[in-house]
Amino acid sequence: MIRRHDEHRDRPLRAFREWLRAGRPPQALAGCPHLRAAPARDVGEPATCDDHQPDDGPIVHLRTCLTCGHVGCCDSSAPQHATAHATSTGHPVIQSAQPGETWRWCYPDQLLG
């Protein structure tokens, strides 16, 4: 279910949905070396966040790190494990692990690809 309130804290999701609404391609892929180095790929359909604990609240969406394969919950989920992983490791690009989505997000450049 698509809920606009999910976009409040989730910049990658907000950028993706703006792209869908506008019907235009993702931002400046050619200008981002991180996105060029991490092409979209099959990340499967993970069932849960690698770091989620029972008291963390619901998982809204899942993201996969394209450097190491870590699966984290998105920024619409309270603990924001995907962003925490990127921040702690320096791994720059995540990909949506939602069925049918292959968009990626570069944390250093704040770009959708």
The model's pLDDT over 37-61, given as tens digits with 9 standing for 90+, comes to 999 999 999 999 999 999 999 999 9
Q: Could you give the percent of the chain with pLDDT greater than 70?
A: 87
Per-residue pLDDT at 1: 39
The order of strands in the sheet holding 104-106 is 71-73, 62-65, 93-96, 104-106, 111-112
pTM of the model: 0.83
Homologous superfamily (CATH) of 4-112 is Zinc/RING finger domain, C3HC4 (zinc finger) (3.30.40.10)
